[in-house]
């Protein structure tokens, strides 16, 4: 931009605008009643009541086709059945299905619509809906439909709670088992948990917080609340004296074998963990990193968000080129906050940061797709589970989480260098938070670039644009050097194989098969394919996906014979081996005292002269 100061002022003025809701009748409201009597069979019966509609007006009832925080079409209406419609007087209505999750008709003279349906809820892993004899988890966007005419009207949800159960959510309580949302959007942003969960309560500064835990854990509430409170304080410190986004916060923690991941909401989050995390130090640190990630989203995404997501379109995918900012920058902070909260030491932080850098620099798709492209293609590549594209995904796409996190590292250190420590990524995050409040139009890349320009000048602003929209390597080593750190490869362990196949394997039912093949490896050009069953390696039967013992017998560039099963036929394929390489790692200088710039970065404090 030629005039970044004027552009910044204009963007600030635009951010003050709000998206005004349509005028609603005083009686406009939606109510849902949830019958959990068949919860042991993972079935709920739900009745919805929509009131205050305009008689004779067009009527469209929709279930969202996706849930916020997961950029994949999931069509939760696919687990809805026996859907019926009535007017306010109990008379049957006919609505015509006009989409996978949409029905249309005309508002009856009563101005009311009543619906009833059966919901099957067995989707805990994707954090949408799950019922059993012991708990009920309902992510409203995957459970309750809406009318666009009532989207900005209050919504009440009443659960019929079994004896001894309680309901918890980020919403206002309106009685036992009852939650009240000011709008449908807020309802969607407030997952519901009911059951006999454990509750750990604490305060993090002025924020009243609860961790509701369903599933096995170690019972050490003192450790958990102390660590999470430290993370919450460190997150708030990023934004300095700016007002906190909420004064109460809820962590819904589901603990179960194989669970992982999390999703952010307005003043709550859903976090999944394997119970092993409570008894294993590194797993516990990863879980805390996930807590930090989701809580940081309370600012980044839940308050300031990319313009296309300013008001969600629940009926179709929304193309966004800034998911690297929403998720990637948050991924950077979920590690940095662990260090600033003093939950890991410098050595462990640099180890975790090095793992993220290695995931990016050694990723086969690195340089094949820009971060903006990765964001835009999240719906068809990043989150898509299609078998037709999964094997090639790593070769032609990048993770906007990991690479966006590494971009955050580079931008943070470059901002600090260009301003002698007076500005950082913290500064940029605070500017976005203050200039683009929830309810406004949201920000775009030009808004981010203008602020980088205003903070550090045109050169860094132009480089920033290249890191987002270009495919050239990120200057990671150069950025780390500004705070006295070195990026290098670890040496291979003594006795380790120096050759590599260049493919990832999977082992299922005693069979070893090719998961995907690295486009950079000779095996890719030789014709090794995903789904090939690997029967023998250089004449030796393959019993496990661990090829290390076999690879030790060979050298890089040596051609070995693979015996494969492909679509029911045997074939022999000569494959040249790739060269094995150690992972990237970040190392401090040998000086006893770290440079002032490094300490300022790690602690979030201003650099000391």
Burial category of 5 from C-beta neighbours within 10 Å (exposed 0-12, middle 13-18, buried 19 and up): exposed
Query: What integer pLDDT is reported at residue 11 of this predicted model?
Result: 41
**Last-in-domain residue among 144, 179, 196:** 196
Q: Give the span between the Cα atoms of 225 and 222, in whole angstroms.
A: 5
In this prediction, residues 202-222 reach a mean pLDDT of 97
On whether residue 274 sits in a domain, the answer given is: no
Tokens 């045109």 -> residue: 458
- Please name which of 298, 302, 306 lies closest in space to residue 323, comparing C-alpha atoms: 306
Query: What integer pLDDT is reported at residue 7 of this predicted model?
Result: 39
Query: What integer pLDDT is reported at residue 12 of this predicted model?
Result: 41
Query: What integer pLDDT is reported at residue 388 of this predicted model?
Result: 64
C-beta of residue 168 within 8 angstroms of C-beta of residue 190:
no
Region of 557 (left: φ > 0; alpha: ψ -120 to 50; beta: rest) is: left
Q: Give the span between the Cα atoms of 228 and 209, in whole angstroms.
A: 10
On whether residue 556 sits in a domain, the answer given is: yes
0.85 cut: is pTM over it?
Answer: yes
Query: What integer pLDDT is reported at residue 20 of this predicted model?
Result: 43
On whether residue 575 sits in a domain, the answer given is: yes
pLDDT at 357 over 60: yes
In this prediction, residues 43-55 reach a mean pLDDT of 97
| Of residues 11 and 323, more confidently modeled | 323
In this prediction, residues 404-420 reach a mean pLDDT of 98
| Of residues 437 and 16, more confidently modeled | 437
The 3-class secondary structure across 20-47, one letter per residue, is CCCCCCCCCEEEEEEECCCHHHCEEEEE
Q: Tell me how far CA of residue 163 lies from CA of 42, 46, 157, 158, in angstroms.
A: 18, 19, 18, 15
Give residue 590's pLDDT band: very low, low, confident or very high (50, 70, 90).
confident
pLDDT at 474 over 70: yes
On whether residue 592 sits in a domain, the answer given is: no
pLDDT at 391 over 90: no
- CATH code, 120: 2.60.40.3650
pLDDT at 3 over 70: no
Task: Give, in degrees to the nearest 5, the angle at Cα 329 between 323 and 331.
Answer: 100
Task: Look over the chain and give the mean of its residue pLDDT values, rounded to a whole number.
Answer: 93
In this prediction, residues 577-588 reach a mean pLDDT of 97
Query: What integer pLDDT is reported at residue 386 of this predicted model?
Result: 67
**Last-in-domain residue among 136, 166, 196:** 196
Query: What integer pLDDT is reported at residue 608 of this predicted model?
Result: 62
On whether residue 275 sits in a domain, the answer given is: no
pLDDT at 43 over 50: yes
Give residue 390's pLDDT band: very low, low, confident or very high (50, 70, 90).
confident
Say what the alpha-carbon torsion angle 588, 594, 595, 600 is, to the nearest 10 degrees: 100
Q: What is the CA radius of gyration of the chain?
A: 26
pLDDT at 61 over 60: yes
- CATH code, 522: 2.30.42.10
Which runs of E-coded beta strand occur in 148-191?
155-159, 166-168, 172-173, 178-181
On whether residue 299 sits in a domain, the answer given is: no
Query: What integer pLDDT is reported at residue 589 of this predicted model?
Result: 87
392 Cβ contact list (under 8 Å, min separation 6): 516, 530
Domain that holds residue 135: 29-196
Give residue 241's pLDDT band: very low, low, confident or very high (50, 70, 90).
very high
**Last-in-domain residue among 134, 167, 196:** 196
pLDDT at 347 over 70: yes
pLDDT at 27 over 90: no
Interval 9-23: pLDDT, tens: 334 433 333 344 455
Query: What integer pLDDT is reported at residue 591 of this predicted model?
Result: 77
Query: What integer pLDDT is reported at residue 609 of this predicted model?
Result: 55
Q: Give the span between the Cα atoms of 516 and 506, in whole angstroms.
A: 9
| Of residues 607 and 203, more confidently modeled | 203
On whether residue 460 sits in a domain, the answer given is: no
Tokens of 546: 């661990």
Per DSSP, what are the bridge partners of residue 173? 179
Say what the alpha-carbon torsion angle 365, 367, 373, 374 is, to the nearest 10 degrees: 40
Number of independent structural domains in the chain: 2
Query: What integer pLDDT is reported at residue 593 of this predicted model?
Result: 86
Burial category of 582 from C-beta neighbours within 10 Å (exposed 0-12, middle 13-18, buried 19 and up): middle
Q: Give the span between the Cα atoms of 3 and 14, in whole angstroms.
A: 17
On whether residue 392 sits in a domain, the answer given is: no
């Amino acid at each position: 931009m030629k005039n970044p100061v004027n552009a910044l002022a204009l963007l600030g003025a635009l951010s003050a605008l709000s998206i005004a809701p349509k005028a609603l009748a005083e009686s406009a409201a939606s109510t849902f009643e949830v019958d959990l009597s068949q919860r042991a069979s993972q079935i709920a019966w739900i009745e919805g009541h929509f009131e205050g509609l305009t008689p004779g007006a067009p009527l469209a009832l929709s279930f969202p086709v996706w849930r916020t925080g997961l950029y994949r079409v999931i069509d939760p209406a696919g687990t809805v059945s026996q859907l019926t419609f009535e007017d306010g007087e109990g008379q049957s209505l006919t609505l015509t299905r006009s989409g996978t999750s949409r029905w249309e008709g005309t508002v009856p003279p009563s101005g009311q619509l009543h619906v009833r349906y059966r919901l099957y809820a067995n989707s805990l892993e994707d954090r949408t809906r799950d019922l059993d004899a012991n708990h009920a988890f309902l992510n409203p966007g995957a459970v309750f439909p809406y009318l666009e005419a009532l989207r900005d009207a209050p919504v009440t949800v009443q659960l019929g709670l079994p004896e001894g159960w309680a309901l918890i959510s980020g919403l206002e309580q309106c009685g036992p088992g009852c939650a009240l949302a000011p709008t449908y959007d807020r309802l969607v942003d407030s997952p519901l948990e009911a059951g006999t969960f454990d509750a750990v309560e604490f305060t993090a500064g002025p924020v009243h917080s609860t961790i509701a835990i369903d599933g096995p854990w170690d019972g050490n509430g003192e450790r958990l609340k102390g660590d999470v409170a430290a993370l919450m304080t460190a997150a708030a410190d990023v934004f300095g004296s700016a007002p906190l986004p909420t004064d109460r916060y809820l962590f819904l923690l589901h603990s179960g074998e194989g669970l992982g991941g999390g999703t952010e909401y307005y003043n709550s989050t859903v976090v999944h963990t394997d119970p092993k995390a409570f008894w294993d130090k590194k797993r516990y640190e990863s879980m805390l990193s996930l807590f930090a990630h989701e809580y940081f989203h309370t600012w980044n995404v839940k308050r300031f968000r990319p313009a296309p997501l300013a008001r969600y379109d629940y009926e179709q995918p929304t193309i966004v080129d800034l998911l690297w900012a929403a998720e990637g920058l948050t991924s950077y902070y979920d590690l940095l906050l662990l260090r600033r909260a003093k939950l890991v030491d410098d050595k462990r932080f640099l180890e975790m940061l090095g793992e993220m850098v290695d995931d990016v620099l050694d990723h086969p798709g690195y340089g094949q797709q820009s971060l903006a492209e990765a964001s835009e293609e999240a719906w068809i590549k990043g989150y898509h589970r299609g078998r037709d594209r999964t094997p090639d995904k790593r070769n032609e796409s990048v993770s906007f989480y990991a690479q966006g996190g590494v971009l955050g590292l580079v931008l943070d250190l470059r901002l600090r260098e260009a301003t002698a420590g007076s500005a950082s990524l913290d500064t940029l995050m605070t500017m976005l938070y203050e200039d683009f409040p929830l309810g406004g139009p949201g920000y775009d890349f030009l808004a981010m670039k203008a602020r980088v320009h205003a903070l550090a000048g045109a050169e860094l602003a132009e480089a920033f644009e290249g890191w987002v929209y270009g495919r050239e390597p990120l200057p990671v080593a150069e950025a780390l050097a500004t705070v006295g750190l070195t990026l290098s490869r670890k040496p291979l362990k003594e006795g380790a194989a120096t050759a590599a196949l260049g493919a990832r394997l999977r082992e299922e039912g005693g069979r070893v098969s090719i998961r995907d093949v690295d486009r950079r490896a000779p095996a890719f050009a030789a014709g090794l394919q995903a789904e090939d069953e690997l029967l023998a390696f250089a004449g030796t039967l393959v019993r496990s996906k661990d090829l290390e013992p076999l690879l030790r017998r060979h050298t890089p560039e040596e051609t070995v014979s693979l015996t494969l099963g492909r679509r029911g036929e045997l074939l022999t394929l000569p494959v040249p081996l790739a060269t094995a390489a150690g992972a990237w790692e970040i190392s401090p200088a040998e000086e006893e005292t770290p440079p002032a710039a490094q300490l300022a970065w790690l602690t979030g404090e201003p650099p000391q002269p």
